Amino acid sequence: MKNVIVKNRLALLGGTIVIILFLIAVCAPLISPYDPNDIDRRHILKAPSLSHPFGTDDLGRDIMSRMIWGARISLSVGFVAVGIATIIGIIIGAIAGYYGKWVDMLIMRFVDIMLSIPTFFLILAVIAFLGPSIFNIMVVIGLTSWMGVARLVRAEFLSLREREFVLAAKSLGASDLRIIFRHILLNSMAPVLVSAVLGIAGAVLIESALSFLGIGVQPPTPSWGNILTAGKDNIEIAWWLSVFPGLAILATVFGYNLLGEGIRDVIDPRLRGGD
């Protein structure tokens, strides 16, 4: 029990981080001290100060303002990409788990093929072909990240499809769609919720990596990844360009991971072990 309490405290910390990041993203126009794209050549690569708490970049733009607006971009990509991946994973996993037999075999072999492909390199190839844009990044991350959700949903359906409430619904003449979405799916959402929360952290990390490589969110639109790119080019004379966006990415991934683990402990007591 003591371990569960500690984990829930960590989950509370993660939830606090997530809420703060969400409020920063929503309130960006109100709390941003400067226009994120406002160029001031009088203050190029200025170190952190009272007027610019996070310093400025190689064009004199305020890093704090760009990070605040970058939170909106990064979290938007995370939420939309995970939403796409979750919807696809639920549909595919539900069909495989409910019908079983050859349907399950075909679908799961396709899932295995997708899992055998290095996801990040697949995303790199697709983005390079389609061209970098926020919309393309959201869609591509979503279309290449659904396999884990599909396997979770399939496993839940395999364990629930023979339960009494499902057999009762079948005996009453309920259609397959009604049984899948009204009866089984509602009872198998716990692991999906945990996977979605953890997936947001992964999507933010992928978006930041793509932007860092120059094929993600394109300047002048601010994102944590392309701020890091400027930091790479000026690492010896402007440490703040790397430290602050790096800490923001770290805090985001850390917060969502803690929150996801805490939700898992709350909704699935079996994972608590002997506590």
pLDDT digits (tens, 9 = 90+) for 142-167: 988 899 899 988 888 888 877 777 77
User: What crossing angle do the helices spanning 101-116 and 63-99 adopt, rounded to 10°?
Assistant: 150
Domain boundaries, position 170: 72-254
Is the predicted pLDDT of residue 24 greater than 90, yes or no? Answer: yes
How does residue 135 score in pLDDT terms, banded at 50, 70 and 90?
Answer: confident
The answer to whether the beta carbons of residues 127 and 140 sit under 8 Å apart is yes
Whether 187 is covered by a domain: the verdict is: yes
How does residue 6 score in pLDDT terms, banded at 50, 70 and 90?
Answer: low
Whether 138 is covered by a domain: the verdict is: yes
- Mean pLDDT for 106-120 is 87
- Mean pLDDT for 23-46 is 89
Q: Select from 2, 18, 4 the least CA-distant residue to 260.
A: 18
Is the predicted pLDDT of residue 270 greater than 60, yes or no? Answer: no
- Mean pLDDT for 28-50 is 89
Structure tokens at 206: 């992928």
Q: Select from 263, 271, 273 the least CA-distant residue to 14.
A: 263
Is the predicted pLDDT of residue 43 greater than 70, yes or no? Answer: yes
Task: State the pLDDT at residue 273.
Answer: 47
Task: State the pLDDT at residue 268.
Answer: 62
Structure tokens at 249: 């990415």
Of 70 and 161, more confident: 70
Whether 46 is covered by a domain: the verdict is: no
73 burial class (0-12, 13-18, 19+ CB within 10 angstroms)? buried
Task: State the pLDDT at residue 251.
Answer: 92
Q: Give the number of domains in the chain.
A: 1
Task: State the pLDDT at residue 173.
Answer: 74
Residue 124 belongs to domain with CATH number: 1.10.3720.10
The whole-angstrom separation of Cα 59 and Cα 94 is 51
Whether 129 is covered by a domain: the verdict is: yes
Residues 6+ apart with CB under 8 A from 81: 137, 138, 139, 141, 142, 145, 199, 203, 206, 207
The answer to whether the beta carbons of residues 119 and 130 sit under 8 Å apart is no
- Mean pLDDT for 257-263 is 86
Task: State the pLDDT at residue 92.
Answer: 92
pLDDT digits (tens, 9 = 90+) for 176-189: 788 787 778 877 88
Whether 67 is covered by a domain: the verdict is: no
Whether 174 is covered by a domain: the verdict is: yes
DSSP β-bridge partners for residue 62: 56
- Number of neighbouring beta carbons within 10 Å of residue 145: 24
152 burial class (0-12, 13-18, 19+ CB within 10 angstroms)? buried
Scored b (16 or more CB within 10 A) or e, 157-192 reads bbebbeeeebeebeeeeeeeeebbeebbbeebeebb
Q: Select from 165, 168, 153 the least CA-distant residue to 99.
A: 153
Whether 56 is covered by a domain: the verdict is: no
Single pTM value for the model: 0.85
Whether 37 is covered by a domain: the verdict is: no
The whole-angstrom separation of Cα 193 and Cα 185 is 12
The answer to whether the beta carbons of residues 136 and 123 sit under 8 Å apart is no
